[in-house]
Chains A and B, each alone.
Chain A
Amino acid sequence: MTTAPAPSRSVTARQPALRLERLTKRFADRAAFEELTFEVGRGEVFGLLGPNGAGKTTTVRVLSTLLPPTSGGAEVVGLPLEGGNERDIRRRVSVLTESPGLYLKLSVHDNLEFFAGLYGLSPRQAKDRIEECTAAVGIADRLPDYAGSLSRGLLQRAALARALLPDPDLLFLDEPTAGLDPAAAAGVREIISGLRRQGTTVFLTTHRLDEAERLCDRIAIVSTRLVSIGTPAELTARKSGALEVRLRKPLTDPVKVFGSVEGIRGWRNGRGEGVYFVDVEDPEEGAARVASAVVGAGGSLVRLCEVETSLESAYLDLLDADR
């Protein structure tokens, strides 16, 4: 992939690109999201992860000034999210909406020229940026084509080029790979990785866990409220603590054996005879105690190890705990 030249940033190095303080959006009596508090650092790729209806798209709409918040506050690229600042914020952020948002009966070039004009670029600047951005997303040769004639993957690349036109301080990507086939989705993820290498601040919403894990420096899991926040490794570590116990023969009374061990949160039978999964508070201490209890009960231990936790299981567990 060719990359666009490193953009100049107007957010100061010490300032976060985004700061939310108990930000809430309600539609009548229904909360789209509430009490969101977190920061996104400059140059960070930040993921907002959550199930359908968790408020991800509405969060992007509020932060990009499309919708007013109900309560709480936020600073976007250093500007308070309040009346009077909307246009200044929109000059410095860019949004890739869930649908590509391009005019299908216009050529890719005419689409990009139109949006460049809305961002206030002069014809000369627009020409240069269109060349740079279409090269960056690999569609420079498709400029004369009508947007409606492009495949879904190419259309999404064109939409990404549009979002990059104003050289934004903060780029919102709302479900950028939704509806794409695996190859097209991989292409879009490659472009986002390129943006990350360039130091572009990206706020990404997705419900694809592999995508979030691969692309994001930090992830916030939301379900209208903030459930958890951290790096993918941190989120995974919070879930860890499951042990796999494999015995030559099943225990005669596993309830009694595991029930007697201190620090066990729960256990369940695994697939196959003599296989158990035990949730412990501390994997190291827990393993020693479980081993001792099993051997003490006459069990013949074949394998005892910590289960590798995926972001998916951490995500499901955190959402489950939030309910």
Chain B
Amino acid sequence: MSARVLVVIRKEFREYRRNRFILVTMAGLPIVLLSILVAETFALPKGISEAELRRPVGEALLFLQLIPVMLPTTIAAYAVMGEREQRTLETVLTTPVTDRELLAGKAIAAVLPAVAISWLLFGVYVGLAEILAPHVVVSQIWTIEQAVAMALLAPALAGFAIGVGILVSLRSSDFRVAQQLAVLAAAPVIGFVALITFRVIDPSVALYAAAAAAVFLIDTVCWRFGIRLFNRERLITAKPTDR
């Protein structure tokens, strides 16, 4: 990895620490989701059938897969938009950093916390389930398929959300609009994940691995497209109204 990419990542982390909106999103969203998951699934009666478990557990797992989509869109939408709003982008672009290095640094800095928080949340959820929930619930949550989904699909989804977030951020004039458009653009992928978690499509290790590979492929396309869209002239000279 280029030294400049690391420099950008370090700077992004320093900015996150000082950005209340990002901090609240990173900490608040997982806590709210975890509370919902616990309330939805841990209070289920011990004698509940597997068929009856499908909806609440499906919802819980979908929420867990939403974390790597929701968090990075917030961060990624801020990535370019934040630079423009602070009027720092032009200064950065006068240095020898390349478009690729700048975007890679921003993307990686957004992926790492999103994936880390997703895994941490999943771990805490499984741990709490072991202690508090009926065994039948635990057996539905802690499966090899779900572990593969978290290990492979979560990073792929985070990459997708960031790719879309940066693409929108490059073309949008307002941070909140960029964030909302990014979430909207991620909707089809979320829909596909919902089909698996609700078992409309039967989950399997192979399916999750294939889905992760497909999303990684889409990530690559988004990345290449993002590099092409990174038009220095437009970013520097466009007025807010015609960006």
Which B residues are in CB contact (< 8 Å) with A68? 233
Given contacts A66-B94, A97-B94, contact A104 B11 (CB under 8 A): no
**Interface flag for B232 (CB, 8 Å):** yes
Check A118 against B95 for contact (C-beta < 8 Å): yes
Which A residues are in CB contact (< 8 Å) with B11? 103, 106, 110, 114
Cα separation A105 to B91 with both chains bound (whole Å) = 16
Interface residues of B in 65-107 (CB under 8 A from A): 86-88, 90-98
Cα separation A68 to B92 with both chains bound (whole Å) = 17
**Interface flag for A289 (CB, 8 Å):** no
Check B233 against A67 for contact (C-beta < 8 Å): yes
Check B18 against A87 for contact (C-beta < 8 Å): no
**Interface flag for A117 (CB, 8 Å):** yes
**Interface flag for A95 (CB, 8 Å):** yes
**Interface flag for A101 (CB, 8 Å):** yes
Q: Report the nearest B residue to A159, measured CB to CB.
A: B91
Interface string of B1-39 (1 = CB under 8 A from A): 001101110110011001100000000000000000000
**Interface flag for A99 (CB, 8 Å):** yes
Cα separation A100 to B237 with both chains bound (whole Å) = 17
Instruction: For chain B, give the interface size range.
Output: 20 to 34
Tell me the total A-B contact number using a CB cutoff of 8 A.
77
**Interface flag for A127 (CB, 8 Å):** no
Given contacts A68-B233, A97-B94, contact A117 B7 (CB under 8 A): yes
Cα separation A115 to B97 with both chains bound (whole Å) = 10
**Interface flag for A200 (CB, 8 Å):** no
Which A residues are in CB contact (< 8 Å) with B201? none
Check B15 against A103 for contact (C-beta < 8 Å): yes
**Interface flag for B236 (CB, 8 Å):** yes
Check B14 against A110 for contact (C-beta < 8 Å): yes
Q: Which of B6, B14, B95, B232 contacts A106 (CB 8 A)?
A: B14
Q: Would you call the interface of chain B mostly helix, strand, loop, or mixed? A: helix
Check B3 against A117 for contact (C-beta < 8 Å): yes
Q: How many chain A residues touch B (Cβ–Cβ < 8 Å)?
A: 30
Check B95 against A66 for contact (C-beta < 8 Å): no
**Interface flag for A134 (CB, 8 Å):** no
Cα separation A82 to B11 with both chains bound (whole Å) = 31
Q: Report the nearest B residue to A93, measured CB to CB.
A: B94
Most chain A CB within a 10 A radius of its CB, from B4, B6, B86, B95: B95
Q: Report the nearest A residue to B91, measured CB to CB.
A: A101
Cα separation A187 to B153 with both chains bound (whole Å) = 56
**Interface flag for A119 (CB, 8 Å):** yes
Cα separation A90 to B232 with both chains bound (whole Å) = 14
Interface residues of A in 88-134 (CB under 8 A from B): 90-91, 93-95, 97, 99-106, 110, 114-115, 117-120
Which A residues are in CB contact (< 8 Å) with B18? 105-106
Which B residues are in CB contact (< 8 Å) with A61? 90, 236
Cα separation A101 to B95 with both chains bound (whole Å) = 12
Check A64 against B15 for contact (C-beta < 8 Å): no
Check B95 against A115 for contact (C-beta < 8 Å): yes
Which B residues are in CB contact (< 8 Å) with A106? 11, 14-15, 18
Check B232 against A114 for contact (C-beta < 8 Å): no
Q: Which of A27, A66, A105, A118 contacts B7 (CB 8 A)?
A: A118
Instruction: Report 30 cross-chain contacts, Cβ distance below 8 Å, ordered by A residue.
Output: A61-B90, A64-B94, A66-B90, A67-B233, A67-B236, A67-B237, A87-B98, A90-B94, A90-B95, A90-B96, A97-B87, A97-B94, A99-B90, A101-B87, A101-B90, A102-B91, A103-B11, A103-B88, A105-B19, A106-B15, A110-B14, A114-B11, A117-B6, A117-B7, A117-B10, A118-B7, A118-B95, A119-B95, A120-B3, A162-B91
Which residues of A are in contact with B by a Cβ distance under 8 Å?
27, 61, 64, 66-68, 87, 90-91, 93-95, 97, 99-106, 110, 114-115, 117-120, 162, 166
Given contacts A68-B233, A106-B14, A120-B3, 14 further A-B contacts (CB under 8 A): A66-B93, A87-B98, A90-B95, A91-B96, A94-B94, A95-B91, A97-B90, A101-B87, A103-B88, A105-B18, A106-B11, A106-B18, A110-B11, A118-B4
Which residues of B are in contact with A by a Cβ distance under 8 Å?
3-4, 6-8, 10-11, 14-15, 18-19, 86-88, 90-98, 232-233, 236-237
